A and B are shown apart, each in its own frame.
Chain A
């Protein structure tokens, strides 16, 4: 088993380290960019996913592993995606209600 394991391809770990370090600096730079809140959020999510993929693929050797381990690793991602879609309607409902309340308050104000 161990001899089989030692035949694993070793990627250039230092290159991965520099990619991760650079992506972290980019993340910090993105916060100060004169961009919209949504754009910054989307960029930060994309950068975090990119960094996480680098760690999983190269440090955790997922790129060189069998399909079984790949399937196990992808399962939580699928569940997390499902969870986001399960929670989104609640979030939208609350945001909608808050907006309605604010609108109601602003229309009532001139009467006073």
Chain B
């Protein structure tokens, strides 16, 4: 027993060609893969409900796309500010990295605010979670569930980004927070990626 324990303590951490460069990054990727399955299931369910419904409203004419197209552009811009924040941190400029992290969080906050505006506008026009004047009741149900689930992710992302500004502030060495900011970026870009899918499947198609 004691011999086994001694041998065990001498064993190096297992390194294989598949060992990731950062375990934190691998952890975030596994979380995102699970989350992607969640969103994938929601969108697949949306597709199945729409395909089997006889009176599914035309999303493009009911929802409108001008505001959401602007929201899509805003999220793409916030992804750029996120990569710029990481780039500046890699160059050792913590102050600029924090400014770009702030812009990213601001982009997310504006996105959620625009979504709240869009929701209130649609609810006012009669789109409810349990029915609407245009056709299948499930149209409203799926719309609010999918966009709401995504909106919650953006809200979580904004909180995460604000926490990261504090994280970077508390670490004088830029290299000390690089990995954590890169992991935050993975989450933020994923939220952008999901919106690309939601925008296409729920608004354009």
Q: Please give the residue numbers on chain A whose beta carbons come within 8 Å of chain B beta carbons, in ascending order.
A: 1-6, 8, 10, 13-14, 16-17, 20-21, 24, 27-28, 30-31, 41, 44-45, 47-48, 51-52, 55-56, 59-61, 65-69, 72-73, 75-76, 79-80, 83-84, 87, 90-91, 94-95, 98
Contact = CB atoms under 8 A, between A and B. Distances in A.
Give the interface SS of chain B, mostly helix, strand, loop or mixed.
Answer: helix
Contacts of B52: 90-91, 94-95
Contacts of A17: 76-77, 79-80
Nearest to A90: B48
A72 B197 contact: no
Nearest to A25: B69
B60 A4 contact: no
Interface residues of B, number: 56
Give the interface SS of chain A, mostly helix, strand, loop or mixed.
Answer: helix
A111 B178 CA distance: 77
B107 to A, nearest CB: 13
B51 A44 contact: no
A79 B40 contact: yes
Given A61-B182, A73-B33, 20 more contacts: A5-B21, A10-B87, A13-B87, A14-B80, A24-B69, A27-B204, A44-B205, A59-B189, A60-B193, A65-B20, A66-B20, A69-B26, A69-B29, A73-B29, A76-B36, A80-B36, A80-B40, A90-B48, A91-B51, A95-B52
